[in-house]
Amino acid sequence: MRRVLVIGIGAGNPEHLTLQAIDALNRVDAIFLMDKGAAKAKLIALREEICRRHVTRPHRLVHADSPEWTRGTADYGATIDALNRDKGALFERLITDALADGECGAFLVWGDPALYDSTIRILETIAARGTVAFAYEVIPGISSVQALTARHRIPLNRIGQSVAITTGRRLAEAWPDADTVVVMLDAHNSFQRYVDQDIDIWWGAYVGTPDEIVIAGRLREVADEIVRVRAAARHANGWIMDSYVMRRRAAASDVDED
């Protein structure tokens, strides 16, 4: 039986790697690296650095071109389904052709594999198809949410209150039913919809990496700065990975009662 490990590698800082992840990396025969083109070479470089620093057992690095998605299509759901089908075909090929029976391979997933990442869903689909027999295991990682809150030195939740993790697309439709909102995958500065409300924002791009930028403050006071800084960073790097935490300012008594 082939074995596959889905290893969370943290959100950009090689030191995010957990001891469990290092141990898992030293159980594998092959590490699959998904290339996303020259603009995102830093994402591969981080994975290669992790392997250089932490893998002591002989292993193969297997590079493959990651299927890309077409941005701005009318049907976002269908586009993502098609992307995941393409990735599924690729992952199945890698497990079948790059691993011998009895060998172990690893997918290195950015942040934590449970958060806005399709690797687990794709492996479930391949396993259900049954074309190739394999067992898989998931090793958690430090997510970008944890990296962001630690960098801003904030708790994620207010005492006894709820947190929603959502996308820019969803936030643009409505504020979720939660006290604190974490927003990921926001290509359109959806926080701007809320600038007339009394909200605090903690924003970060490339958190944990040498390119890290963070901005925090009252939304209405920092929104324009975030839009400006974000556009410049995206232009300079060719891509951006940013996320933010927002919550409405509470009356002092609400906080004291907690």
Sheet holding 2-8, edge to edge: 60-65, 30-35, 104-109, 2-8, 134-139
Residue from 2, 12, 32, 194 touching ligand SAM (CB under 6 A): that is 12
Q: Which of residues 84-113 bind ligand SAM (CB under 6 A)?
A: 110-112
Q: Is 143 in the site for ligand SAM (CB under 6 A)?
A: yes
Stretch near ligand SAM under the rule CB under 6 A, chosen from 23-31, 72-80, 144-152, 245-253: 144-152
Q: Which of 89/185 has CB closer to ligand SAM?
A: 185
Q: Is 117 in the site for ligand SAM (CB under 6 A)?
A: yes
Positive or negative, the Cα torsion across 204, 205, 209, 213? Answer: negative
**Contact in structure between 83 and 69 (CB atoms under 8 Å):** yes
Q: Is 61 in the site for ligand SAM (CB under 6 A)?
A: no
Please report how close the Cβ of residue 101 comes to ligand SAM at its closest, in angstroms: 30
Please report how close the Cβ of residue 33 comes to ligand SAM at its closest, in angstroms: 16
How far is the CA of 124 from the CAs of 4, 91, 129, 147, 197, in angstroms? 12, 11, 9, 28, 42
Alpha helices in 98-204 (DSSP H): 119-129, 144-152, 168-173
Interface residue list for ligand SAM (CB under 6 A): 11-12, 110-112, 115-117, 143-144, 147-148, 184-185, 204-208, 241-243
